[in-house]
Amino acid sequence: MYVLGIETSCDETGVAIYHSEHGLCSHLLYSQVDMHSEYGGVVPELASRDHIRKLVPLIKQCLKESGLTGSDINGIAYTAGPGLMGALLVGAATARSLAWAWQIPALAVHHMEGHLLAPMLEENPPEFPFVALLISGGHTLLVRVEGIGRYQLLGESLDDAAGEAFDKTAKMLGLGYPGGPKLSALAEQGKPQIKFPRPMTDRPGLDFSFSGLKTFTLNAVNASGKTDQDKADVAAAFQQAVAETLSIKCKRALQQTGLKRLVVAGGVSANKQIRASLTQMVAKENARLYFPRLQFCTDNGAMIAYAGCQRLMAGQQQGLEIYARPRWPISELSGC
């Protein structure tokens, strides 16, 4: 079964074609990051306007690169949420009506399910069950994954998402947008001289809170000499605090569930220090760590095509509604 996957939930237009037996045929991504960087962050209306310009050309190109035509495609999967309403609607409207014209099933996919299952696109995918840490600009979740659609939320951020904390801290340090990667680059020049707190690690539970780190950063910057080296040191201390906090919580989640497999996905999972910290932790726990390849850590169409394919193969599909749901708890998903 060939499935066309479409992702437009934020500021990247992703399109991919996945085959149930042969795997990924092609995947394309157009990132709007340069456009939004002029505005210091994602402007939802501009994101929507760009998606509608880019989506159809990307679908055509993806078919061409796969050597396929429309009549080869057996189903369409599109991201229905969570995400920006206007951006989601572009993908949903185009995908749903394309499926209608091709007379094939369409399926609304949960964006975070896409991220959770992204490691399945790799050579040695994890077996179920596993613990998954999803860290992105909009989400920080710890989930126990029993199978497709069988997700138990173990913990989540009570305020800022991990990526959001990176972006906001970067802003305080005078770094441009997107701040996360810039902050990481700066951190490599510094030493974590100051000891940042590890929020919510001193009490039981698997929830996160990153908003306090912003205030701490602000105070640390103000108390410093504000030289470039001082800023690099603050960046290093901040990043270390986030990496260790995530690591402590993941360790707890593994111990609590008794599972030995940890999947880490989402845009922030590209961060080197976070990867290093988690790698160390799983080695001590005798567990195994799974990452999607870097380009599938961030938003992409491949993970949507994959997740959609699993559900479409199980016979799931949706009616003619153009389905978009900006807020959509992952715990509401059903199995297949």
Partner 1 sequence: MKLLAVETSTEACSAALFIDGEVVERFELAPKEHTKLILPMIDSLMADAGLKPQQLDALAFSRGPGSFTGVRIATGVIQGIALGADLPVVPVSTLAAIAQDFFDHNDDNVAFVAMDARMDEIFWGVYRRDAQGYAELIGDEAVTPADAVEFPDLTGVGIGSGWGVYSQELTARLPGRVSRYQAELLPRAGAIARLGARGFEQGLAVVVEQAMPVYLRDKVAKTELERRNP
- Residues annotated in a binding site for substrate: 134-138, 167, 180, 271
Nearest CB to partner 1, comparing residues 24 and 43 = 43
Nearest CB to partner 1, comparing residues 15 and 145 = 15
Instruction: Return the number of other C-beta atoms located less than 10 Å from residue 2's C-beta.
Output: 19
Residue 185 is a binding residue for partner 1 (CB under 8 A): no
Residue 154 is a binding residue for partner 1 (CB under 8 A): no
Task: Tell me the two tokens of residue 146.
Answer: 């029993």
Q: Are the beta carbons of 254 and 131 closer than 8 angstroms?
A: yes
Instruction: Return the number of other C-beta atoms located less than 10 Å from residue 316's C-beta.
Output: 17
Task: List, in sequence order, every beta strand (DSSP E) within 102-167.
Answer: 106-110, 130-135, 140-147, 150-156
Minimum CB–partner distance for residue 57 and partner 1 (Å): 6
- Residues of this chain, 65-94, that bind partner 1 according to CB under 8 A: 70, 85-86, 89-94
Residue 128 is a binding residue for partner 1 (CB under 8 A): no
Nearest CB to partner 1, comparing residues 95 and 274 = 95
Radius of gyration of the chain (CA): 20
d(Cα 83, Cα 75) in Å, to the nearest integer?
Answer: 22
d(Cα 139, Cα 156) in Å, to the nearest integer?
Answer: 8
**Region of 186-194, 210-218, 237-245, 315-323 interacting with partner 1 (CB under 8 A):** 315-323
**Contact pattern from residue 28 through residue 57 relative to partner 1, giving x for each residue in contact according to CB under 8 A and a dash for the rest:** ----------xxx--x-xx-xx--xx-xxx
Q: Annotated binding site: which residue ranges?
A: 111, 115, 134-138, 167, 180, 271, 299
Residue 17 is a binding residue for partner 1 (CB under 8 A): no
DSSP code at position 121: G
d(Cα 308, Cα 140) in Å, to the nearest integer?
Answer: 22
Minimum CB–partner distance for residue 165 and partner 1 (Å): 21
Nearest CB to partner 1, comparing residues 69 and 124 = 69
Q: Are the beta carbons of 275 and 269 closer than 8 angstroms?
A: yes
Q: Which of 27, 96, 198, 311 binds partner 1 (CB under 8 A)?
A: 96
Minimum CB–partner distance for residue 58 and partner 1 (Å): 11
Residues 6+ apart with CB under 8 A from 332: none
Residue 329 is a binding residue for partner 1 (CB under 8 A): no
* Phi, psi dihedral angles at 76 (to 5 degrees): -125, 130
Task: Tell me the two tokens of residue 45.
Answer: 């209306």
Residues in contact with partner 1 by CB under 8 A are 38-40, 43, 45-46, 48-49, 52-53, 55-57, 59-60, 70, 85-86, 89-102, 320-324
